[in-house]
């Protein structure tokens, strides 16, 4: 299934789940081990990080998928998570080229609110650190 960037879900309670599922479906080699037949991916966000970071992850995943279509052994995520307000995307193995793409992805995530993807005065919060924009920080404090 193909979808264009403009078709990325921007509304709805479960937009993160819908988007994560689309990334997995569009990159079936890269995320092969994330796919379990019969599992309902819309019950949770399979990639485990907030909606706001899924666009950079989508762009990175598309490059990785293209690389993997001709690679002898696919480079696949061993773990994807948020730590101290930054994206950590660990691969089973990597190359300098892939590390460059991943560096761009992590840098883009650091500029974006993990919740909404906004870029307005994004900074890590105190306490349980999240990288959030001014709007989402305000909502979170209520
Ligand atoms: Zn936000």
Owning domain of residue 40: 10-112
Tell me the pLDDT tens digit for each residue of 65-75. Answer: 999 999 999 99
- The pTM score is 0.87
Reported confidence tier of residue 3, pLDDT bands at 50, 70, 90: very low
* Count of domains observed in the chain: 1
Cα(53) to centroid(ligand 1), Å: 11
Domain membership of residue 81 (yes or no) is: yes
* CA distances to 19, 36, 39, 120, 139 from 56, in Å: 12, 24, 25, 17, 24
**Among 35, 39, 48, residue whose Cα is nearest residue 90:** 48
Tell me the pLDDT tens digit for each residue of 91-105. Answer: 999 999 999 999 999
Cα(107) to centroid(ligand 1), Å: 17
Residues lining ligand 1 (ion), CB within 5 A? 113, 115-116, 118, 133, 136
Give the model's pLDDT for residue 74. 96
Whether residue 35 has pLDDT greater than 80: yes
**For residue 116, what are its two tokens?**
């909404």
Cα(70) to centroid(ligand 1), Å: 37
Domain membership of residue 137 (yes or no) is: no
Higher pLDDT, 10 or 34: 34
Give the model's pLDDT for residue 2. 44
Cα(133) to centroid(ligand 1), Å: 4
Reported confidence tier of residue 12, pLDDT bands at 50, 70, 90: confident
**Please, what is the average pLDDT of the chain?**
88
Reported confidence tier of residue 134, pLDDT bands at 50, 70, 90: very high
């Amino acid at each position: 299934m193909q979808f264009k960037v403009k078709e990325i879900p921007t509304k709805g309670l479960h937009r993160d789940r819908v988007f994560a599922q689309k990334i997995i479906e569009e990159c079936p080699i890269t995320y092969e081990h994330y796919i379990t037949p019969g599992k309902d991916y819309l019950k949770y966000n399979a990639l485990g990080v907030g909606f706001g970071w899924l666009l950079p992850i989508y762009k990175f995943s598309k490059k990785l998928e293209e690389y993997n279509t001709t690679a002898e052994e696919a480079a696949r995520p061993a773990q994807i998570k948020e730590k101290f307000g930054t994206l950590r995307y660990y691969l089973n193995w990597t190359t300098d080229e892939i590390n460059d793409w991943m560096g761009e992805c992590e840098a883009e995530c650091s500029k974006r609110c993990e919740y909404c993807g906004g870029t307005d005065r994004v900074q890590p919060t105190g306490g349980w650190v999240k990288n959030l924009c001014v709007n989402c920080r305000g909502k979170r404090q209520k």
